[in-house]
Amino acid sequence: MKSLSALKARLLRATSTLNRIIGAPDYEGYLRHQHACHPDRAPLTRDEFVKQRLEDRYSRPGARCC
């Protein structure tokens, strides 16, 4: 049982790494940051956060090249 949860944790870490490499919005990281630094403010929902990140990513040069 213990090895199963360890495996799951490792899988989660791997998927999070891949997600960040391909540039997918990292909501968990954002939540951690909000809880640590701005516990008084209500964080964005996942939908809001993802929408905002994607809009931002494709509106300026600096994220893609030839």
Partner 1 sequence: MRRLQSVAIWILVAACGAGAFAWIALNRGERVSAAWLVTAAVCFYVVAYRFYSRIIAANIFALDANRKTPSERLNDGRDYVPTNRWVVFGHHFAAIAGPGPLVGPTLAAQFGFLPGALWIVIGVALGGAVQDFVILAASVRRNGKSLGQMAKEEIGPIAGLTALVAILGIMIVLIAVLALVVVNALGESPWGVVTVGLTIPIALLMGAYMRWIRPHKVLEATVMGLILLVVALYVGRGVAENPALAPLFTLSRTTLAWSIMIYGFAASVLPVWLLLAPRDYLSAFVKIGVVVALALGVLLVLPPLEMPAITRFVDGTGPVFAGKVFPFCFITIACGAISGFHSLISSGTTPKLLERETDARFIGYGAMLTESLVATLALIAACMLTPGTYFAINAPPSAIGTTAESAAAAIANWGFTLDPEQFKALTASVGETKLLSRTGGAPSLAVGMAHLFSNVLGGGTAMALWYHFAIMFEALFILTTLDAGTRVGRFMLQDLLRHVYEPLGRVAWYPAVVFSSGLFVAAWGYFLYQGVVDPLGGINSLWPLFGIANQLLALVALCVGTTVIIKMGKAKFAWITLLPLTWLAIVTMTAGWLKIFSDDPKLGFLSHARLVQEQVAAGNLPANVKSAADAARLVMNDRIDAAVAAFFMISVVIVITSSAREWLAVVGGRKPAISTEIPFEPRAVAVGD
| Between 10 and 33, CB nearer to partner 1 | 33
Which structure tokens are listed for 33?
């940051």
Task: Name residues contacting partner 1, limited to 5-64 (CB under 8 A).
Answer: 15, 17-24, 26-27, 29-34, 37, 46-47, 50-64
Could you tell me if 34 and 41 are in contact, meaning their C-beta atoms sit under 8 angstroms apart?
yes
φ, ψ (nearest 5 deg) of residue 62 = 125, -5
Which structure tokens are listed for 58?
């494709």
| Between 4 and 22, CB nearer to partner 1 | 22
Shortest distance (Å) from residue 7 CB to partner 1: 16
